Amino acid sequence: MKKFLRRFNWISFLSTVALVVIGALVLASAGDARGSDTVFASLWKKMVATAGLGFVLYFTFAILDYRKVLDYLAYPSYAGAIFFLLLVLAVGSVQFGGRRWLWFFQPSEISKLCVICCLAQLFGPAEERFRGQFGFKGFLAAAAIIAVPSVLILLEPDLGTTLTLVPAVGAMMLVAGVWRKGLVVMLSAGTVVAAAILLAVSIAEDEDANAESREKAMSCVKAILKDHQVKRVKTFVTPGEDELGAGYNLHQAMMTIGSGGVNGRGYMKGEAVRRRLLPPMGVMNDFIFCVWAEEMGYRWSLALLGLFAALCGSVAWTAVVAGDGRGVMMAAGMATLLFAHVFINIGMSLGLVPITGLPLPFLSLGRTFLVTIMCGLGIVQSISIHREEKTE
């Protein structure tokens, strides 16, 4: 018990607890704004119950030796994730324009942790095998591992999940020391494609450009993105042009954040949510940060960002002090995944990145993601606790 308490990462745990409490409070406020007799009013209670399950799994994984967990679960969980991703495309339910739900959970959310565990198990115990002359083989292995679930997730379609999975895998590949020229090429290719899409949308929206150029540019964009994704990119490129149409949600999100000021309007006193200026499910998912910012103001918004920074930093520090390659890679992947979620979710509410359906950890309504992220943090906690033990 003394060893457990001494090596226990208290910053990570206390940050998690604080964020769960904040998530319950902000969801209760957002649900109450929709009326006490609606289904939204009680959703925060379901999230609290889910968090309770999450903490049980958190401590279960924290107590177990992470090396044994990865030995037994890494590859089977990855295979299971692929199976459920295929199954959801076949028989999953369609909600909000995407086929993402299978019964009561989202396989795409679970796949994030499964991919991270699989890569940690692949590269961690055999570091030298994928370095030097084998670096290219390691790059191909990692690319194949992420390519299969990414393609299946994009078919749902769910671009947001892929946008968080790619940087997590990239960070793990960098830590593993695989073919770094390949990483540079992959990053450069992604940057070029993103820049080309933004440029094409800019040309298509430019009234001074000739009709033929605009039509060709839009055809190129639609060959890559779905119609709703094209609208989101348009809103990002020209945020002020269609504030009552495609750009409505972004405009209201930025107005809501700005209206909170330094001190905020007070808990459960946010006008934008109660006047229903944002969509009911969107305000409890994609734009949950707006609720907190309006009601609690800039000061407490910075405090929230500080909690996320403490959590991501403590997970990253676990990678630094981990005793073996698996621990390093697992913690690095989780830290990057958390950071990507926080950056993209809050960034889209501020107009810094295009809007995409992506939950804010612990705050957004997303029970599958909450359980998944707490399982991952439990494994990271195990790395901290068992880091000095020898592998049998």
Q: Is 254 helix (H, G, I), strand (E, B) or coil?
A: helix
Residue 95 forms part of a structural domain: yes
Of 378, 392, 388, 291, whose CA–CA distance to 64 is shortest?
A: 378
Of 280, 341, 333, whose CA–CA distance to 27 is shortest?
A: 280
The C-alpha atoms of residue 229 and residue 234 are separated, in whole angstroms, by: 9
Q: ∠ CA 303-346-261 to the nearest 5 degrees?
A: 55
Contacts of 64 (CB under 8 A, 6+ apart): 382
Q: CB–CB of 379/69 below 8 Å?
A: yes
Q: Which pLDDT does position 50 carry in this prediction?
A: 93
Residue 240's CB is within 10 A of a number of other CB atoms, namely 10
Residue 391 forms part of a structural domain: no
Provide the domain count of the chain.
Answer: 1
How far, in whole angstroms, is CA 373 from its chain's centroid?
9
Here the tokens at position 84 are 């459920």
H/E element holding 104?
none
Q: Which pLDDT does position 389 carry in this prediction?
A: 66
Q: Is 246 helix (H, G, I), strand (E, B) or coil?
A: coil
From first to last of the 392 residues of the chain, give the pLDDT tens digit. Answer: 666 667 789 999 999 999 999 999 998 888 877 666 566 778 888 899 999 999 999 999 999 999 999 999 999 999 999 999 998 888 777 665 667 777 778 888 899 999 999 999 988 776 554 444 457 777 888 888 888 998 888 887 777 788 888 889 888 888 887 777 777 777 777 777 777 777 776 676 666 666 666 677 767 766 666 666 666 766 666 666 656 566 677 778 888 888 888 888 888 887 777 777 776 667 778 888 988 998 898 889 999 999 999 999 999 999 998 878 889 999 999 999 999 999 999 988 888 887 777 889 999 888 899 999 999 999 999 999 987 666 54
* Residues of the domain holding 35: 2-386
Residue 350 forms part of a structural domain: yes
Q: What share of the chain is helix, strand, coil (3-state, %, to 5)?
A: 75, 0, 25
Here the tokens at position 280 are 């009911």
Residue 62 forms part of a structural domain: yes
How far, in whole angstroms, is CA 7 from its chain's centroid?
28
Here the tokens at position 54 are 């999450």
Radius of gyration of the chain measured on its C-alpha atoms: 22
Q: Which pLDDT does position 267 carry in this prediction?
A: 86
How far, in whole angstroms, is CA 291 from its chain's centroid?
19
Please count the residues of the chain.
392
Residue 392 forms part of a structural domain: no
Amino acid at 90: A
DSSP characters for 196-210? HHHHHHHHHH-TTS-
Q: Is 105 helix (H, G, I), strand (E, B) or coil?
A: strand
Residue 102 has what DSSP assignment?
B
Q: Sign of the CA dihedral 186, 191, 196, 198?
A: positive
How far, in whole angstroms, is CA 302 from its chain's centroid?
20
Residue 9 backbone dihedrals phi, psi, to 5 degrees: -85, 90
Contacts of 34 (CB under 8 A, 6+ apart): 40, 41, 276, 280
Of 82, 116, 163, whose CA–CA distance to 373 is shortest?
A: 116
Cis peptide before 125 (omega within 30 of 0): no
Q: For tokens 């457990």, what's the residue?
A: 4
Q: Which pLDDT does position 315 carry in this prediction?
A: 95
Of 388, 353, 392, 364, whose CA–CA distance to 22 is shortest?
A: 364
Q: Is 245 helix (H, G, I), strand (E, B) or coil?
A: coil
